[in-house]
Amino acid sequence: MFTGLIEAMGTVRSTGAGFQVESDTDLSLVRGDSLAVNGSCLTVTGVKKNILSFDVSPETFRRIVVPVPGARVNLERSMPADGRFHGHIVTGHIDEAGIVTKKKKTSGFSEFSISFQQRSSLLLVEKGSVAVAGISFTVVSVTRRAFVVAVIPETLKTTTAGEWKPGYRVNLEFDIIGKYVTQAAQAARSSKSLREYLEQSRRS
């Protein structure tokens, strides 16, 4: 599990069946550790100095924005059991790719409008949480096809958000709590009654 607080940035050195990423910071990783790369949870399969290797499954490749060699990526180690919870619950499982559609500077902040697939509209709420390229954000506002996040100067400096502009594609992970609530509500709606649904859940 992750929190959406980026610890370091890296540069993609090669792609193919997986990635090789050179980290700007020594994250003290070993083979088998989990690392979120632009929000996607990957297993470290090799460490050579600050070069990290990852194998990537076809399902992960299908879901994520595949970085090209030279691309900058956000890195976050998995959260230790006794760690502090800074952002929100981030699983590292990407739901879809979004597209930055607008950038606006206001009062020292930058606001980004990011499009998403309409089928995901129930998973975003104003003042709720969303992970964009692995970064934990609070949703400023949301419509049926786009949401807005406000980015502080520190985040622009220490993450890939400083490179975002219209047309930039980003990994999106919606709040896991919202996913479970939405699924339960949809299942209850399709049942004869909410009580019947809850009784079935209790017995199973």
The series of mean pLDDT values per 10 residues for the chain, 204 residues long, is 96 93 94 97 95 95 94 96 87 96 91 95 94 98 95 96 97 94 78 66 71
Q: Report the C-alpha gap between 175 and 169 in whole angstroms.
A: 19
Q: What one-character DSSP code corresponds to residue 80?
A: P
List the CATH code of the domain at 96-179.
Answer: 2.40.30.20
For 8-77, CATH number out of 3.40.50.300, 2.40.30.20, 3.10.20.740, 1.10.1060.10 equals 2.40.30.20
What is the reported pTM? 0.89
pLDDT of residue 167: 97
Q: What pLDDT, on the 0 to 100 scale, is given for residue 138?
A: 97
| pLDDT for residue 108 | 80
Q: Is 41 exposed, middle or buried (0-12, 13-18, 19+ CB in 10 A)?
A: buried
